[in-house]
Every structure is written in structure tokens, then in C-alpha cells.
Chain A
Amino acid sequence: MTRISPETPAGAAAAAPAPWSIRLRDATVRYPNGVVGLNKISLDIEAGEMVSIVGLSGSGKSSLIRTINGLVSLSSGTLEVGDHRMDLARGRELRRLRGQIGMIFQGFNLAGRTTVLNNVLVGRLAHTSVARTLVGAYRPRDRQLAYEALDRVGMLERVYHRAAHLSGGQQQRVAIARALAQEPGIVLADEPVASLDPPTAHAVMGDLRRINRELGITVLVNLHLLDLARGYGNRLIGLRAGEIVYDGPAASATDADFERIYGRPIGDQDLLGGAASSASTASPVSLPGEPV
């Protein structure tokens, strides 16, 4: 099974795009109902960072992630991704920028009744004409990128399976392949393992870390479990009520830091447990085989 690795020829063939930085200045998100999702946030994320974002439910984690690819628009403030003003982008330009930003969801968001391949090809839509999309005639290079992405997450042999017939962990890997097929500069993940059992959760988090380390892509992951946040992120951002209340290295964040972010004592419900994550070791952990 081919895995992502700097030496993999497949990885070299697809000229990996440069990772993107993210720059937010006084960014506020106020929803139409008046709820403030983000409150005057300023944040710099360098290209190639792996960032865990933690906070209680409702603290603004999803708002932050969804702002970065323009699914939620800023009410005020500015947002730059790479060298581009995301907050000013509209129409074609907005779609072009979104095409460079992969997104992974808690619920996988695959079209269940079609094949794994067709789902991964959704990652190529920003580079595919509407006419080609309508008749399903993707270019050979786009198919090639889809196969490579599936190979990287170990799902190539499922390429013609129906997405709905896969297990949760497999579906999330297909979703990661869909993001990778975009050849993204940034990957955003919104609670990517909240619907998975502990071993599968660690496997998927391992995949995300590998994307960051071996492809150099900037990765932002929303999490609510502190051991995952500490174990897989290099940097930790804590949100409370739409504001950044912690920003520092992930590995050295103490339980007291988490209690400050959460505003309450931490307990077992804040930990996933399961396979120990090697946060400090630099070498990539080998994944367990196919999770269930």
C-alpha cells in the first residue's frame, strides 16, 4: 500500500503547490440572527503549520474554519490566504481560491450513491468546465490526481465502490482524498474525527499529520478533545465566545491551559484515549491497516 512519503514518485509527479499562510485582522463574524461567531480576531498562521483549534461547543471553531474558505463571510475585518484577499473575492475569483483550500467535515459529506472516484473528482471541479462536469468527462490529469490522492490514503482499491458502502473511517479517508485531489495550499478540518471510534480517529488524525509533514500543506483542525489537540497539532489555538484565549505550542499546553480555554475543570469527556499519539516524536507513525 503506497503511503505519502517524500520519496514517493507519485508525490513528486504532482508538482505540489506552495502551502499558504493565513492572516486575519480584526475579523468579526456576525450571523444574520445577531449571534457573534467571531469577535475581532487577529491571527497569523504561517505556511506549513499544523494547528489544532479547541474550544467548547459554540465557541466559534466552525465559524473560524468556515470563514477561511469563505463559506461564512466576514462582517468586518480582513482575511488573506496566501497573497490573496479572500474577504474581497467574489464569484470566479472566490471559487478559484476555494479550489486551493481543501475542507474535511465531521459528517464526511460524500455523495453516498455514487462511486468513491466520483466523490474524489469533486475536488477537481474548480479546474473543470461546467460542460465537462455535466457529462462527467473529467480530463485524464484530473483522474490521475484523484487516483494519486486515493492511493495516498490507502483507498485506491475502493475506487469503484459506492461511498455509502464504506465504513466511517474509510469515508473520511475518501473525504481527505477529495481535499488532496485539489492540490491544496491549505486543508481545513472541522471536527474530522468526532463521528469515529478511537482507533479510527487516531488513524485519520495520523493521515492529516502526514499531509502536513510530507506534503507541507498548512493544516487547521478543529477538535474538542484535548489529547488529540495536543498530540497532533504543533500549535494550539483556544477559542472561547468567539475570541482567541490561548495561542501557543500544542505539546506544552498544560491541563491548566485547557481549563482556562474551556472555563471549567477538564475531565474524562475531554479525552479520547485509545492509541497513544506520539506528539513529540518527529518520525511519522505507521498507520494501523484498514480500520474496520
Chain B
Amino acid sequence: MIKKSISDLLKEHPFFASLPANYIEFIAGCGRNAVYEAGAYLGREGDPADVFFIIRSGLIGIESYAPDEGPITVQTMTAGNVVGWSWIVPPYRWQFDARALETTRVVALDGKCLRAKCEEEPLMGYQLMKAFAAEITGRFRANRLQLLDLYGRAQK
């Protein structure tokens, strides 16, 4: 079996679909493959957010801790999704826990390395931020729908 390079894996991922190949090659220099077994944390609330993840397969729960209820999953992310954007904005700390719910394969991208590359190549940085803005917008739209508590209102 031919082992795919990090840039091949990124090119196949929908998040990078809008980025030109040369930028992806450049970004790939900050990436590495990683596997998380079920139960392992990819990030903990409050910890430094110096990495983000491109999910290749598996399932990740975005969790928060409620004193009376324990950990609560507020969203799950799967293949094709991106986990973590706190590496972009100060204070660069995880806002939620991210925990593998099953064996999960990811490409982990080093946020510090990427921030440096974005400074070095602002056009690429702009393209990357646009991709993140689309991701964040989609996530907010979904969260707003969740907040509407739709199902609670069905059937009058």
C-alpha cells in the first residue's frame, strides 16, 4: 500500500478544496499524522491551543463539563470536518474538550508553525482564514438551530 503524504491527505480533504496546490504543500510542512483511540483527548478546555485537526476518519465529541451533569457532548465531528480554531485567535486556548469517541485518524497541524507561515505568506493566510470563516459560519448556523430547541416545539 502506498503511504499518502500529508499534502496528499490535505488535498483530498474538503476543508482545503478552495486552496491552490502550492499553498497546501506549504501548509503540509506543519502537519503530521496522528491516531487517537476512543476516549483519548485531542484538546482540553483551557489548555494551550497550538494545534488543530483535519479528521480523516472516526468521530470526535466536542464536550463541556457541567457540574451537575458531568461531561456533555455539544457537537460531534467526523470525516471531512475540522476541529479547533482557537489556534488562530489569542489567547490561543481550547474553549472546549475534544475527545475521540471511536478510533480517529487525523492530520494534526501545528498552529504556531502555521501562524508563522501565514505571516510569511499573507495571501495564503488570507485564503486559509476564508476557509476557516466558512467553517465557523457553518458551525454557528448549526449552533443557532440547536439553540432554537426545534424538536421541543413540534406538534401543537
Q: A and B: real partners?
A: no
Q: Which residues of B contact A (CB under 8 A)?
A: none
Q: Which residues of A contact B (CB under 8 A)?
A: none
